[in-house]
Amino acid sequence: MIAGNLLSHTIIPLRTSDTGAEALGIMNDFYVRHLPIVNDKQLLGLIAEDEILEYDIEEAIGSYSLSMAKPYVRETDHLYDVLKILSEYQLTVVPVVDAEDNYKGLISQDDLVRYFANIGSFTEPGSIIVLEMNKRDYSLAEISRIVESEGAAILSTFITSNLKTERIDVTVKINRQDFQLQRIISSFERFEYTVKASFQESDYFDDLQERYDSLMSYLNV
* Per-residue pLDDT tens over the stretch 124-149: 778 999 999 999 999 999 999 999 99
Opening angle at CA 7, ends 3 and 12, nearest 5 = 135
Angle (CA) 197-203-209 rounded to 5° is: 110
Between strands 154-161 and 167-174, the pairing is antiparallel
- Read off the pLDDT of residues 64-107 as tens digits, 9 standing for 90 and up: 988 778 899 999 999 989 999 998 999 999 999 999 889 999 99
Q: Tell which CATH classification among 3.40.50.800, 1.10.443.10, 3.10.580.10, 3.30.390.50 matches the domain 3-116.
A: 3.10.580.10
The C-alpha atoms of residue 49 and residue 205 are separated, in whole angstroms, by: 34
Q: Which one is predicted more confidently, 27 or 200? A: 27
Q: How far is CA 115 from the centre of its chain?
A: 9
Please name the CATH architecture into which domain 120-215 falls. Answer: 2-Layer Sandwich (3.30)
